[in-house]
């Protein structure tokens, strides 16, 4: 039975059923075609290996930390990003606090 998509904070332990999975790392704001190319490779490798596919992203966006004086326009807020990644077939989104 397929597990439900999970949105996790990286400060919590990774659930056992997600350990050993393939991880795509990046901010993936917009989840556009360029991002989808990277994400599809992670999904394909996870399927080939029979392990979960996960995305590790950063919240807030690193630019907000490195350049706080510059307004940051975000295409996909975290809840929307999670829905898009779930729709692509990922098992989980792990949000790493970026400070």
Give the position of tokens 């996909």: 76
In the chain, how many domains are there? 1
Inside any domain, residue 88: yes
This prediction's pTM? 0.88
Domain around 88: 6-97
- Pairing state of beta strands 92-97 and 6-9? parallel
Inside any domain, residue 79: yes
The reported pLDDT for the residue numbered 2 is 64
Going residue by residue through the chain, which has 99 residues, state the pLDDT in tens, using 9 for 90 and above: 567 899 998 778 899 999 999 999 999 998 888 889 999 999 999 999 999 999 999 988 889 899 999 998 989 999 999 999 999 999 999 999 988
CATH number at residue 17: 3.40.50.620
Inside any domain, residue 84: yes
The reported pLDDT for the residue numbered 79 is 94
């Amino acid at each position: 039975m397929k597990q439900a998509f999970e949105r996790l904070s990286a400060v919590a332990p990774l659930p056992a059923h997600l350990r050993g999975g393939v991880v795509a790392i990046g901010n993936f704001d917009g989840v556009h075609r360029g991002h989808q190319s990277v994400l599809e490779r992670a999904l394909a490798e996870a399927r080939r290996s029979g392990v979960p596919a996960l995305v590790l992203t950063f919240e807030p966006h690193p630019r907000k930390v490195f350049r706080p004086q510059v307004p940051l326009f975000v295409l996909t807020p975290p809840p929307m990003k999670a829905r898009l990644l779930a729709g692509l077939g990922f098992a989980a989104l792990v949000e790493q606090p970026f400070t």
